[in-house]
Structure 1
Amino acid sequence: EEVTEGEEVERKEHLKTQWARLEAVVGTKARITLIARDLVKHFENRLAALDGKAMVVCMSRRICVELYHEIAKLRPAWAAEADGEGRMKIVMTGSATDPLDWQPHIRNKLRREALAQRFRDPGNPFQIAIVRDMWLTGFDAPSLHTLYVDKPMRGHGLMQAIARVNRVFKD
């Protein structure tokens, strides 16, 4: 919807079809596996130089879930079902009709707010937030120093996302 805002109905349908095709290419198993491997390597190197947190922006909720599972294969200790545990979490909304493997990542507003508090706390081990759209605007976590963007973004949305990490934390 964000991509097609302000477009006519026919043009919106065309853009949605293009977006679905792009999502299918971006979301291939092989590509997600490579992204997970590169992300883990880069983030561990980043943490060796500078303590902080990362946000991963994916193109779809499906890709968020699949990327989470690929990272968990590489670093099982980073994943945990309980909201109060684990180094990485997906932050997304959803419904009971979403696929079963998405359900552990779908949280109500109260649970998402608790995750936000964990993520904002520099001492909390929750270090990697995987999102599609959430937390890209109006969310402030000063210890957030790395942003991985794996979806087309432009204009105001891109500037808002960049602003999440464009700050100094600890001198």
Structure 2
Amino acid sequence: MKSKWSRLEALAGAEQRVKQMVQDIVKHYETRQEAMFGKAMIVIMSRRIAIELYSEIVNIRPDWHSDDDDKGIIKIVMTGTSSDPEHWQPFIGTKKRSDQLARRMKDVNDELKLVLVRDMWLTGFDVPSMSTMYIDKPMRGIT
């Protein structure tokens, strides 16, 4: 099962696919914002893909990013350890950070409008203003 998952993750996280997915998501999200207000969540199958997707989105929409957790339109919500790669460390958060981002996401007036998640916030996370969920992971046979 791990071997199958690893092969699928490699295909899903291929550079060309990530770039195309970013183009599609950003176009759809911006078009949707013109029609109606709403926040969005992107559900990704791995932390690696989440970071690559985030980086690519920020590459085409740099004004969406902020190093400050109290600012920015887009964030990644994920856990990790100090042994994770160094370039992942800015995205790894504590429970306190996750709670802070959750409050921001639930606040209709907050500029945070797009979050990338792997497993966190998938169940029991009620955000009335969240109108869109992009799912890019198998929903069967996972934790």
Q: TM-score range by the shorter chain?
A: over 0.9
| TM-score (ref. length: structure 1) | 0.81
1:26, 1:138 → 2: CA distance?
A: 26
Q: Give yes or no for the alignment of 1:148 onto 2:134.
A: yes
**1:84 maps onto 2:84 in alignment:** no
The 4+ residue runs of structure 1 with deviation greater than 4 A are: none
Task: Find the aligned partners of 1:101 and 1:150 in 2 and give their Cα distance.
Answer: 22
**Cα distance in structure 1, aligned partners of 2:43 and 2:97:** 20
Q: 1: CA distance between counterparts of 2:119 and 2:96?
A: 18
* Equivalent residue number for residue 84 of structure 2: 98
The whole-number CA distance in structure 2 between the counterparts of 1:111 and 1:24 is 29
Matched residue SS, 1:21: helix
Question: How large is the RMSD of aligned CA atoms in angstroms?
Answer: 1.2
Tell me which residue corresponds to 2:37.
51
Alpha-carbon distance in 2 for matches of 1:105, 1:81: 10
Is 1:65 the counterpart of 2:51? The answer is yes
Deviations 1:43-83 (A, max 9, x none): 00000011010000001000000000000011000011110
Describe how 1:107-118 pairs up with structure 2 within 5 A.
107-118=93-104
Q: 2:10 aligns with which of 15, 24, 35?
A: 24
Q: TM-score, normalised by structure 2?
A: 0.97
Which of 101, 125, 137 pairs up with 2:111?
A: 125
Structure number with greater Rg is: 1
Give the unaligned 5+ runs of structure 1.
1-14, 158-171
One-letter identity of the residue aligned with 2:39: K
Are 2:110 and 1:136 equivalent residues in the alignment?
no
User: For residue 8 of structure 1, what is the aligned residue in structure 2?
Assistant: none
Distance 1:67 1:90 in 2: 10
* Uncovered stretches (5+) of structure 2, i.e. residues with no partner: none
Number of positions where the alignment pairs a residue of Structure 1 with one of Structure 2: 142
Equivalent residue of 2:138, what SS? coil
Query: 2:69 aligns to what SS in structure 1?
Result: coil
The separation in 2 between residues aligned to 1:47 and 1:56, in whole angstroms, is 16
Summarize deviations over 1:135-163 as a string: whole Å, max 9, x none.
001111100000000011139x8xxxxxx
Question: Which one-letter code corresponds to 1:74 in the other structure?
Answer: I
